[in-house]
Structure 1
Amino acid sequence: MSLKSALAAFVGKSSYVVLHDILRRGGTSLPGKLATKIDPEVMTTLAEKYDVILITGTNGKTLTTTLTTRVLREQFPDVITNPSGSNMMQGITGTMLTAKVTGKSHRPIALLEVDEANVEEVARQLKPMAFVLTNIFRDQLDRFGEIYTTYDKILKGIRLFPEATVIANADSPIFMRGDLPNSNVYYGFNHLPADGDMKAPHNTDGVLSPTDDTVLHYHFMTFGNQGDYFSVSDDFKRPELDYAVTKINEMTPRYSNFDIDGETYQIEIGGMYNIYNALAAYTVGRFLGVTTQQIHHAFESNAQIFGRQEAVNVNGKEVTIVLIKNPVGANQVIDMMKTDDQPFSLIALLNANYADGIDTSWIWDTDFESLKDSGMQAIATGGERYKDLYVRVKMAGYGEHPVYQDLKQIVKAIDEMPTKRVYIAATYTAMLQLRAQLAQQGFIKTGMGE
């Protein structure tokens, strides 16, 4: 380790101790910021002792990382990760600086969620053995532009390491672009007969064939642009899957029961999108030799996941916090809520800070209208961009409804809902503000992950 790297590591670790142990504030972003200010290449040295796996994509990075960490820890004693979703350079540097490993056996694994725009620089410094790709959907247009621009950012990182394995969601056709020399492991859904012939809805992004840019057809679709696709103009089609969901047995807001390659698994979180995340975690585990019995045990853990369908009791109300940030993800959250067999209320919170995405046009592609066919009894809106969301929900046919601009009123808002079950769907910084209020009033702890 060079003198510059040693100094950067010392400053980063010292600031973490002050923040975490003395001030009790936690966080890894500031220590990483200080360290990279001294030595922008500090992670190169820190990563030398790790096998590195990077997880990226639009939706599902945090839950996929959390589930995969649990899976790998069934077999490997030293797996470090960034559980709070601090997935840019500063946060990842902070994670590497403050990681604690036993060194008892096997080379430590660094399993890291990475923001799509940061893949190239993070990969260059960490030299990953594998990349895990979840999906690509329209998201944060102010940062990424359209989906092919986002994927190009990811490809720049992958192309630096042709020897790395790409573990990709094969149901997402955009991942078949790029002509990479890397070896591949593919996962996806085979839960329906492959004998249909349909096109995606007209407003779906990412449904062009990588061979000739014609519109793809599907034997079946799951959601967004995902499914068993094929071209009618040439022989392009979804590749053979190495690991597949072969049956969906039951989906509720609180758990999902499904088969992977004929064997039944259950995770304590709802939504088809979370089955994809579990399948990705399963695939990484099998890639590294984790047994199916160990994966069963990992999935059975009922630990809460920061901001991802966290269940909180607020004055007797069953409150579930869910993250929304783009139309595909928000529509999946709506579909998850619609599986609830009990009456519920919804509080939707919209911010538009840098971490959320400044462009809020995505709310107009979110299908709030479909909640009319559910058990939803009441709806309210709030957040820093409450006016935008109020108009959108009103235009969806819900008329005048309560608005909570100040999140200090959130407990009051929950209390005033007519149902015992309340969902709070919030963008990222709104979720942080919400959790801060709930923590201040003693309903949750301030920790942000395992």
Structure 2
Amino acid sequence: MSVRRWLRVLGEVTRPTVPVPDAGCPLLDWAESGAMALTGHGNGPPVLSPGSMWPLLRETGAALTWLSGRTGRPVHTDPALLLTGRAGARNLTRQGRTSAGGATRLLHASDGWCALTLSRPEDLELVPAILGRAEVTDPWQALTTAVSGTRAREFAAHVRQFGLPVAALPPEPPAVDAPWRVTRIAPPEPALRLDGALVVDLSSLWAGPLCAQLLGRAGARIVKVESTRRPDGARSGSRSFYDWLHAGHESVAVDFTTAEGRAALAELVRAADVVIEASRPRALAQLGSAPEELRHRAGKVWVSITGYGRRHPDRVAFGDDAAVAGGLVGWSDGEPVFCADAVGDPLTGVVAALGVMGAVAVGGGMLIDVAMRDVAGAFAGAGAVEHGPHPVSEGAVECAALGRTVPIRPPRVPAPTGRAPTMGADTARVLAETPVNQDPRTRPAPR
């Protein structure tokens, strides 16, 4: 698995190799990252798997730094902070087959395992219908019992009919040549750059906003757009984590149920150099802003983040169940446990940003279809790490080959550079100055 191979899907944008400094042992890096502390049973030691993903994550970060320097300001990332920042902000801990965030569980089927996310009260209320019962006293216990006599894929297919995020753990990670599919939507623009570019972020929660944050650090102007009737659910979570993702961005809020709101959305989408969205395709189509229905000027980059890609528009996913779908889990005594905290989200955010930067480097004009399942599969299939035995004891990991022992560190705590704007704080000003027909070279400097 190689980042260079991913980027070839966009165009020849890399040197023969992207330099990655040698850090010694990836499994020691995994132990020090905070992600290992989140992987394993709560009443047992953390586990080394899937530390083999670490070299690919470092290569991704190195490529991102190089590409951002070509198209804007160079962005240097801390992979450990990207993976564990939410857990650090919320003081989350490992819970084995219950996700660190608590909404997703690994259930043992007759032939394997599946992951199901029930994040809202109304999701739990669907359990009786899923099981064909009038009522259920303990939803999770009832599901655990029911799935034990069913094949994992059959159970997942049944639950998927109710619109819930569910995934069977594959026997092997899916083969992934690249974590995105690319469609040409406009001719390239050779002078395209990220510094000064207008990025309209229609996404929410974690993956899309992290992509936007990285593009903002490269010099882009980020305008976050929310529905007044359905704001980003992350606003009700950890304030420090939300600030870390959104400080320095601008906030627009409009009512998508009104003609005026839909017109404002369409105007912003037309003006954007880059659009980030994480919606089901039909949702944007209903708003009149689906990428396939719009005329795009040269260089436009549109990144669509979904659970399984735009080819599977009705399959939803969150970070933990998407990781399971891609085979990205830890292993404890031969059984799976969740990897880190909703690891599909931060990995997808980084990969989406890399895709945008690669597209910008070759002139854009692309729709980049990023599937969280495929991102997880790429990292799960990154390859084995060979550095000799690695005993885990007393909160530390030893690498016998290197003669080094490192502590298993807790998750990183993000340090926001400022406060995120209140929802809609910039609506009037941004809509008044939206440069629909303005030359990108004369646009206001990023804020």
Q: Give the structure-2-normalised TM-score.
A: 0.26
TM-score (norm 1): 0.26
> Which one has a larger percent strand, Structure 1 or Structure 2?
1
